[in-house]
Structure 1
Amino acid sequence: MAKQFPALDDAHRKFIEDQHLFFTGSAGPEGRVNISPKGMESLRVMGPNRILWMNLTGSGNETAGHLLENNRMTLMWCSFTTRPLILRAYGTARTVQADDKDWTEFAALFPPHRSARQIFDVAIDLVQTSCGYAVPLMDYRAERDTMQKWVDGKSDEDIRAYWSDRNQTTIDGKPTGVPV
């Protein structure tokens, strides 16, 4: 049975910290809904109603585009180990770009990553847990090194060129606001 909470409590925070993977969900007022898996130590719980998530370069940039039109965001974690549990944090988010005043302070909370595109500052207004009984049991082996190898093979200019070529619009053709 699903349970709802106005904020993250200590048990929720511990559960989030124990997960290697989380999912993000966003949507503009029309067009496609985006759901993306995320990892690589890119999330920080800042308090009971606040999460920061560093968005690294990827093949798309849907969340940034959606937030320009509609600031709703959902984050979700699933337990793939012993205790079945799904936790969702619902709220709104704002995009922090590298030239914004908060960037330096927020970026210092994460391991340095040359391909960081944005940091999303998520204000949580509802937390929901549910059973997760149908989520399979899976073992964590390791983080992939694919992203780091890609970054290591690129200059900062190459990464910005990739953003310019592949991250300027959503799949629905809406702007993402990513600086180049």
Structure 2
Amino acid sequence: MAKQFSGLEPHHHRFIAAQHMFFTASAAPTGHVNVSPRSTDMFRVLGDNTVIYLDRTGSGNETAAHLNIGSRLTIMFCAVAGPPLIMRLYGDGRVIHRQSIEFAALLTDQFNGQAPLGARQIIRLDFNLVQTSCGYGVPLFDYLDERPQMDDWAEAKGVDGIENYWRDKNQTSLDGFPTGILDQSADGDAARVSTAGASESEE
């Protein structure tokens, strides 16, 4: 039976910490609904009603495009090992651009100042509804490891190649909505140098 909460409780924090994957769901008023799987290695819980994740470059940028139009965002976890449980966080999302002071501050506070090569933005979700359900229908799986292909791809592209990829592939959604990935801000140069330097040091 589904249960609803106004925020994360201690056992919810423990559940999230044990997960290796989560899903995001977003949509504009018209067009396609997007659902994406993501690794929790870039996920952080800021409080009982706020979470963020460092978004890495992918073939599309649907979530950012949708959040530029509206704020609706849902994050879902589902246990594939241990006791069954599905958890959804419903709330308002927004994009924190990599050129911003806020991005640089979160990178320092939550990610030890290190961004993997290809990090393109941070997504923040402020939520007021947590819903859990049984998860009996989710199969059991064994976690093996993170896939190396994303790091390999980013290293092969390099900083300039990734920015060219953003320009070619990540500026609009499937429905033609702008993602804002190349938007600049007054403090952009400092933040970009910080992010690029952290990425290059990991190569």
Q: TM-score, normalised by structure 1?
A: 0.97
Q: CA deviation at 1:45?
A: 0.4
Q: What secondary structure is seen at the aligned counterpart in 2 of 1:29?
A: coil
* Aligned-partner Cα distance in 1 for 2:102–2:34: 26
Q: CA deviation at 1:112?
A: 2.2
Q: What secondary structure is seen at the aligned counterpart in 2 of 1:139?
A: coil
- 1:1-150 residue pairs with structure 2 within 5 A? 1-39=1-39, 41-108=41-108, 109-110=110-111, 111-150=114-153
Q: Which amino acid aligns with 2:152?
A: K
Q: What secondary structure is seen at the aligned counterpart in 1 of 2:116?
A: coil
Identity of aligned residues (%): 46
* Aligned-partner Cα distance in 2 for 1:43–1:155: 24
Q: What secondary structure is seen at the aligned counterpart in 2 of 1:155?
A: helix
* Aligned-partner Cα distance in 2 for 1:155–1:84: 41
Q: What secondary structure is seen at the aligned counterpart in 2 of 1:13?
A: helix
Q: CA deviation at 1:40?
A: 5.3
Residue segments in structure 2 that go unaligned for 5+ positions in a row = 184-203
Q: Which amino acid aligns with 2:13?
A: R
After TM superposition, the runs of 4+ consecutive aligned structure 1 residues lying more than 3 A away are none
* Aligned-partner Cα distance in 1 for 2:53–2:31: 24
Q: Structure 1, residues 20-75: CA drift from partner, whole Å, max 9, x if none? A: 00000000111111000000511100000000111100000000000011111000
Q: Which amino acid aligns with 2:84?
A: P
* Aligned-partner Cα distance in 2 for 1:155–1:36: 24
Give the aligned length.
Answer: 180
Judging by fraction of residues, say which structure has more helix. 2
Q: Structure 1, residues 127-155: CA drift from partner, whole Å, max 9, x if none? A: 00000000000000000000000111122
**Structure 2 residue 185 is matched with structure 1 residue 161:** no
Q: TM-score, normalised by structure 2?
A: 0.86
Q: What secondary structure is seen at the aligned counterpart in 2 of 1:173?
A: coil
